[in-house]
A = this chain, B = another copy of it.
Amino acid sequence: MSMGASTKQGYEIAEKSRKIVRSLIDSKTKNLTPEERSIVERIVHSTADPEYADITRMSKDFVGESLKAISDGKEILTDINMVKVGINKYEGNIRCHIGDEATIKLAKKQEITRAAAAIELAASKGFDGVVAIGNAPTALWKVIELVNSGSMNVKSVIGVPVGFVGAAESKKSLQETSIPYLVTEGPKGGTPVAVAAVNSLINILRSE
Q: A residues near B, CB below 8 A?
A: 5-10, 13, 16-17, 20-21, 24, 45-49, 81-82, 84-86, 107-108, 111-114, 116, 137-138, 162-167, 186-192, 195
Contacts and interface: CB of A to CB of B under 8 A. Distances in A.
B9 A163 contact: no
A9 B191 contact: no
Contact of A8 (B45, B111, B192, B195): B111
What DSSP secondary structure best describes chain A's contact surface?
A: helix
B162 A111 contact: no
7 contacts: A13-B137, A13-B138, A45-B164, A46-B162, A48-B187, A82-B86, A191-B192
B47 A195 contact: no
Q: Tell me which of A81, A108, A165 has the highest count of chain B C-beta atoms within 10 A of its own C-beta.
A: A165
Contacts of A24: 164
A54 to B, nearest CB: 14
A82 B17 contact: no
A190 B17 CA distance: 15
Q: Tell me which of A21, A113, A164, A186 has the highest count of chain B C-beta atoms within 10 A of its own C-beta.
A: A164
Contacts of A190: 46-48, 190, 192
A138 B4 CA distance: 14
A138 B163 CA distance: 29
Given A8-B111, A10-B114, 10 more contacts: A7-B107, A13-B138, A13-B166, A20-B164, A47-B188, A48-B164, A48-B167, A48-B190, A81-B86, A82-B192
